[in-house]
C-alpha cells in the first residue's frame, strides 16, 4: 500500500497550535489505516533565536523530498537576519523559489454561520479561487532591484512567456475541476491585470487571450486590478477563478479573506510540477500565540487541499475522500456555531479541533 510522507513545520507564534490541529483532523479523517507518515522539521524565527539558523539544510531536504509540506506560520516581529531580512520569511521564500511553486491557489468561501462584513451576502454567494502567480511578477527579482545613489529605487516587474502561460493554463484547469463553484452554471476565468497602463500586464493579458482559445468551454473576461478590488466587495458572487500577477494576488487575497471572515478563514496551497506546500494565508499572529484561541479553520482547510492535491496526483481516493469529509466537517462545525474569537465566537482552538475530529469520523 502506497504511503506518503508529509513534512510538517510548525513555525512560530500560533503556527504550532494551528498546525497540530490540522494534523489531528487529518488523522481523524484517515483513521487507523492512514497512508500518511508525518515527519517534523524545524524552521522559523524561534528556531533562529535558539540556534542561529532559520532554515537548516536538513529541514530543506526533508521538505524537498516529502510528498507534501504542511506549515503552521512563520516569522516574529523584529527577528531578522543580519542583512535585515525576516528570519521567518526565508522558509516560505526558499521553498517557493527553489521548488518552483509557481501556483498559489487561494480558495475564498463564505461558510454558513460566519458573518461577512458585506451586506446582503449569504453562504454560497462567495465561493471563488484567487490564483496568484507565485514565481515572478513584481516579486521575481527580490533583491534584484536597485537603489541608485541612495536617491532612486527600482524594482523590475518580470513576466516571462513560460511563467504566464503555465499560470494561465492552471487557472483554466482549476475552472474545469470546478475549484470555486461555477457561477450561475458558468465556469469563468477572470484575468486581472493593469493592461491599460503597463506593458508587462498587457503581455500577461495577451498570453491569457491566446491560451483561452484552448478552453472554449470556459467563459473568460478581463478586469483591471483597481476595478477588481471594488468588484470583490460589490459583486463577489460573480467570480469563479481569478488569475493574476504575484503582487496583485497578494493584495487581493487579503481583501478577499476579509469578506469571508478574515485571515483565520483563508487557506492556501502553493504547488509546482512536483511539490506542494500548504499553510493558512495568515501570519504567525504573535499577539494571540499561546492563548489557545487561534482559529484553526484556515490551516485545516489548507490540509484538506493537501489531501486533494495528493489524491488527484496519485489517483488515490482515500485522500480525496478524506478531503471532502474534512470540508463537510468544517461546514458542520461552523454551522453549529463553533466560532473562534476572530470570527465572532468564543470557542478555543482545542474545542474546535476536537469537534472537527468527531465530525470527520461521523461524516460518510
Ligand atoms: P504576515 O506578515 O506573516 O502576513 P501579518 O502581520 O499580516 O503577518 P497575521 O499574523 O496574518 O499578520 O495576522 C494579523 C492579525 O490577525 C493577527 O495579529 C491576529 O490578531 C489575527 N489573526 C491572524 N490569523 C489568525 C488566526 N488563525 N486566528 C485568530 N486570529 C488571527
Ligand atoms: Mg499579512
Nearest to 328, CA basis, from 28, 76, 93: 28
Dist CA 132 CA 167 (whole Å): 8
Nearest to 161, CA basis, from 169, 149, 150: 169
Dist CA 145 CA 229 (whole Å): 27
Cβ(283) to ligand 1 under 6 A? yes
Q: What is the pLDDT of residue 89?
A: 85
Say if residues 292 and 349 touch (Cβ distance below 8 Å). Answer: yes
Cβ(134) to ligand 1 under 6 A? no
| pLDDT tens readout for residues 56-74 | 999 999 999 999 999 999 9
Which residue out of 78, 282, 348, 352 has the highest number of ligand 1 atoms within 8 Å of its CB and is therefore the one to mutate? 282
Is 180 a residue whose pLDDT tops 60? no
Please count the helices (runs of H) and the strands (runs of E) in the chain: 11, 12
Beta-ladder partners of 137: 158
Q: Establish whether 239 is a catalytic residue.
A: no
| pLDDT tens readout for residues 67-120 | 999 999 999 999 998 888 888 888 998 999 999 999 999 999 999 999 999 998
Q: Establish whether 250 is a catalytic residue.
A: yes
Is 265 a residue whose pLDDT tops 60? yes
What is the residue whose three cell numbers read 458573518?
115
Q: Which contacts (CB < 8 Å, 24+ apart) does range 123-128 have?
A: 124/181, 125/236, 125/237, 126/236, 126/237, 126/259, 126/260, 127/180, 127/181, 128/180, 128/181, 128/183, 128/236, 128/239, 128/240, 128/241, 128/242, 128/256
Q: What is the pLDDT of residue 84?
A: 81
Q: pLDDT above 90 covers what percent of the chain?
A: 86
10 Å Cβ neighbour count for 50? Answer: 10
Topology (CATH) of 103-263:
Isopropylmalate Dehydrogenase (3.40.718)
Residue 222 dihedral angles phi and psi, to the nearest 5°: -110, 150
Q: What is the pLDDT of residue 2?
A: 86
Q: What is the pLDDT of residue 356?
A: 98
Q: What is the pLDDT of residue 186?
A: 83
Which residue, by CA, sits nearest to atom 20 of ligand 1?
Answer: 285
pLDDT band at 142 (very low <50, low <70, confident <90, very high): low
Axis-axis angle for helices 317-335, 297-313 (nearest 10): 160
Cβ(195) to ligand 1 under 6 A? no
Q: What is the pLDDT of residue 153?
A: 86
Distances (CA, A) of 133 to 101, 148, 165, 216, 271: 9, 29, 10, 23, 11
pLDDT band at 179 (very low <50, low <70, confident <90, very high): low
Say if residues 197 and 166 touch (Cβ distance below 8 Å). Answer: no
Q: What is 1-102+272-364's CATH number?
A: 3.40.718.10
Cβ(294) to ligand 1 under 6 A? yes
Q: What is the pLDDT of residue 98?
A: 94
Half-sphere exposure of 138 (CA within 13 A, CB side): 15
Q: Establish whether 194 is a catalytic residue.
A: yes
10 Å Cβ neighbour count for 58? Answer: 11
- Distance from residue 292's CA to the centre of ligand 1 (Å): 14
Dist CA 96 CA 140 (whole Å): 11
Cβ(75) to ligand 1 under 6 A? yes
Question: Per the structure block, which three cell numbers stand in for 80?
Answer: 531578522
Alpha helices, DSSP H, located in the chain: 15-30, 45-51, 57-65, 89-98, 161-177, 199-212, 225-234, 246-259, 297-313, 317-335, 349-362
Catalytic residue among 112, 209, 214, 226: 226
Q: What is the pLDDT of residue 25?
A: 98
Which residue out of 19, 92, 255, 263 has the highest number of ligand 1 atoms within 8 Å of its CB and is therefore the one to mutate? 263
Q: pLDDT above 70 covers what percent of the chain?
A: 96
Distances (CA, A) of 116 to 78, 91, 290, 314, 339: 32, 32, 27, 36, 13
| pLDDT tens readout for residues 286-344 | 999 999 999 999 999 999 999 999 999 999 999 999 999 999 999 999 999 999 999 99
Question: Per the structure block, which three cell numbers stand in for 36?
Answer: 500518511
pLDDT band at 143 (very low <50, low <70, confident <90, very high): low
Q: Establish whether 291 is a catalytic residue.
A: no
| pLDDT tens readout for residues 196-255 | 999 999 999 999 999 999 999 999 999 999 999 999 999 999 999 999 999 999 999 999
Instruction: Pick the more confident residue, 276 or 180.
Output: 276
Q: What is the pLDDT of residue 364?
A: 61
Q: Establish whether 254 is a catalytic residue.
A: yes
Nearest to 307, CA basis, from 284, 278, 328: 278
Which is it for the CA torsion 114, 103, 216, 176, positive or negative? negative
Say if residues 23 and 53 touch (Cβ distance below 8 Å). Answer: no
Domains 1-102+272-364 and 103-263 equal at CATH topology level? yes
All structural domains of the chain with their residue ranges: 1-102+272-364, 103-263
pLDDT band at 257 (very low <50, low <70, confident <90, very high): very high
Question: What does DSSP say about strands 188-193 and 152-154: parallel, antiparallel, or unpaired?
Answer: unpaired
- pTM score, two decimals? 0.95
Which residue, by CA, sits nearest to atom 19 of ligand 1?
Answer: 285
Amino acid at each position: 500500500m502506497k504511503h506518503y510522507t508529509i513534512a510538517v513545520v510548525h513555525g512560530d507564534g500560533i503556527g504550532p497550535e494551528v498546525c497540530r490541529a490540522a494534523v489531528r483532523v487529518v488523522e481523524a479523517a484517515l483513521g487507523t489505516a492512514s497512508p500518511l507518515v508525518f515527519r517534523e522539521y524545524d524552521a522559523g524565527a524561534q528556531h533562529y533565536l535558539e540556534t542561529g539558523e532559520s532554515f537548516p539544510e536538513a529541514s530543506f531536504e526533508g521538505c524537498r523530498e516529502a510528498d507534501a509540506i504542511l506549515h503552521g506560520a512563520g516569522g516574529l516581529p523584529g527577528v531578522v537576519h543580519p542583512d535585515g531580512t525576516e528570519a521567518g520569511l526565508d522558509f516560505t521564500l526558499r521553498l517557493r523559489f527553489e521548488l518552483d511553486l509557481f501556483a498559489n491557489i487561494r480558495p475564498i468561501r463564505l461558510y454558513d454561520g460566519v458573518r461577512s462584513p458585506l451586506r446582503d451576502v449569504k453562504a454560497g454567494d462567495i465561493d471563488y479561487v484567487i490564483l496568484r502567480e507565485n514565481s515572478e511578477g513584481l516579486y521575481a527579482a527580490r533583491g534584484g532591484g536597485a537603489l541608485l545613489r541612495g536617491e532612486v529605487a527600482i524594482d523590475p516587474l518580470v513576466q516571462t512567456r513560460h511563467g504566464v502561460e503555465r499560470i494561465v493554463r492552471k487557472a483554466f484547469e482549476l475552472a474545469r475541476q470546478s475549484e470555486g463553484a461555477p457561477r450561475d452554471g458558468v465556469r469563468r476565468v477572470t484575468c486581472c491585470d493593469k493592461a491599460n497602463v503597463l506593458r508587462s500586464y498587457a503581455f500577461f493579458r495577451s498570453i491569457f487571450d491566446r491560451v483561452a482559445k484552448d478552453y472554449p468551454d470556459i467563459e473568460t473576461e478581463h478586469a483591471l486590478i483597481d476595478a477588481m478590488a471594488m468588484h470583490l466587495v460589490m459583486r463577489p458572487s460573480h467570480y469563479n477563478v481569478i488569475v493574476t500577477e504575484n503582487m496583485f494576488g497578494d493584495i487581493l487575497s487579503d481583501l478577499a479573506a476579509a469578506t469571508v471572515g478574515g485571515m483565520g478563514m483563508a487557506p492556501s496551497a502553493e504547488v509546482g510540477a512536483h511539490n506542494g506546500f500548504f499553510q493558512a494565508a495568515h501570519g504567525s499572529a504573535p499577539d494571540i500565540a499561546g492563548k489557545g484561541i487561534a482559529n484553526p479553520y484556515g490551516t485545516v482547510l489548507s490540509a484538506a487541499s493537501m489531501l486533494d492535491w495528493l489524491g488527484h496526483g496519485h489517483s488515490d481516493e482515500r485522500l480525496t475522500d478524506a478531503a471532502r469529509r474534512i470540508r463537510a466537517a468544517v461546514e458542520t462545525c461552523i454551522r453549529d456555531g463553533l466560532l473562534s474569537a476572530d470570527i465572532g465566537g468564543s470557542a478555543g482552538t482545542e474545542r474546535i479541533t476536537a469537534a472537527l475530529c468527531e465530525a470527520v469520523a461521523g461524516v460518510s
